[in-house]
Chain A
Amino acid sequence: MLDPKLLEILVCPVSKAPLEYQPEQQELVCRASGLAYPIRDDIPVMLESEARSLSLEERER
């Protein structure tokens, strides 16, 4: 479970836009950059090199 206080202060390192928390996937999603950052062992991994690109379908949602 990601602490809401932490979520509040995190932004995408690429776009600097706020992130959406996806608890099932354990990811932090940025619509602006189209990247999803993994949360591993409760630690958000805010590295562009570790992020997953959102699929077209995910982007349209």
Chain B
Amino acid sequence: MTDKTNAESGETTHFGFETVNKNQKESLVRGVFDSVASRYDVMNDLMSAGIHRLWKRFTIELSAVRPGQTVLDIAGGTGDLAAKFSHLVGDDGQVLLADINDSMLKVGRDRLLDSGAVGNLHMVQCDAQMLPFPDASIDCITIAFGLRNVTDKDMALRSMERILKPGGRLLVLEFSKPVNPVLEKIYDTYSFRILPMMGQLIANDADSYRYLAESIRKHPDQETLLGMMEDAGLVNCEYHNMTGGIVAVHRGIKA
């Protein structure tokens, strides 16, 4: 979809199954989301047959967010989680909706205006690796289907740990590794054959949805991500598999 031939020497990372220079990944990922932003929600519903709503609902239950708290939703793009949190924290609380991509934030703002949840909700364009918030300032951070697009995940997890208050929670909702080999085979067929086709038909953009499928396979599995969260300094880390491990939600606490 984009010219990736100038990946010269220097540190490399994954962009789907391709190896690219670390400093290229950010703009390549931006290209994907600029391209899908306007149809992102409709595609999520179709791709997951609506199940992404259940995954998100469970994540909100695990967050234990209460009135008056400050919640940061990173890579919150079109704002599904942020709208729910806005009601949970109430007038004394605050929800920060953060995304590195301004197209996604603008789609989110339009949707949130429509849903009426705005008074306690603010948008910030920022990088998950360098979060613009003070140490120990946030009660709960969520990142749903966002971490796998971040270039340096360890740096991002450390940045999140820094800004959490002691006792604050980080919740990572992300595609993961199916626990059953038969399910894994079906899922592979679905995501590498059917999903790019649906992307082509609905968003006229097979490449972006192929990137999504590839990036999911490159993302660390359940145990690896758990270890990364512990390395970032979070404690009592745990995860819950959903839909047979196609998706997992990881939770860690700031000590």
Contacts and interface: CB of A to CB of B under 8 A. Distances in A.
Interface residues of A, number: 19
B156 interface: no
Nearest to A3: B122
B126 A46 contact: yes
A45 B125 CA distance: 5
A10 interface: yes
Contacts of B109: 43
A2 to B, nearest CB: 9
Given A41-B106, A43-B102, A43-B105, A9 B94 contact: yes
Contacts, number: 54
A48 to B, nearest CB: 7
A44 B125 contact: yes
A27 to B, nearest CB: 14
Contacts of A40: 102, 125
Contact of A11 (B96, B102, B134): B134
23 contacts: A6-B124, A9-B70, A9-B96, A9-B133, A9-B134, A10-B124, A10-B133, A11-B133, A11-B134, A12-B132, A13-B132, A40-B102, A41-B102, A41-B106, A43-B102, A43-B105, A43-B109, A45-B125, A46-B124, A46-B126, A46-B127, A47-B126, A48-B130
A5 B132 CA distance: 14
A52 interface: no
Interface in B8-24: none
A11 B132 CA distance: 5
A40 B124 CA distance: 10
Contact of A10 (B70, B100, B132): B132
Interface of B: 70, 94, 96, 100, 102, 105-106, 109, 122-127, 130-135, 137
B122 A16 contact: no
Contacts of A14: 130
B98 to A, nearest CB: 9
A11 B136 CA distance: 12
Contact of A13 (B105, B106, B130): B130
A61 B123 CA distance: 30
B135 A45 contact: no
Given A9-B70, A11-B132, A47 B123 contact: no
A22 B137 CA distance: 24
A9 B125 CA distance: 14
- Scoring B123, B125, B126, B131 by chain A CB atoms within 10 A of each residue's CB, the highest score goes to B125
Interface in A2-33: 3, 5-6, 9-14, 16
Contacts of B100: 47
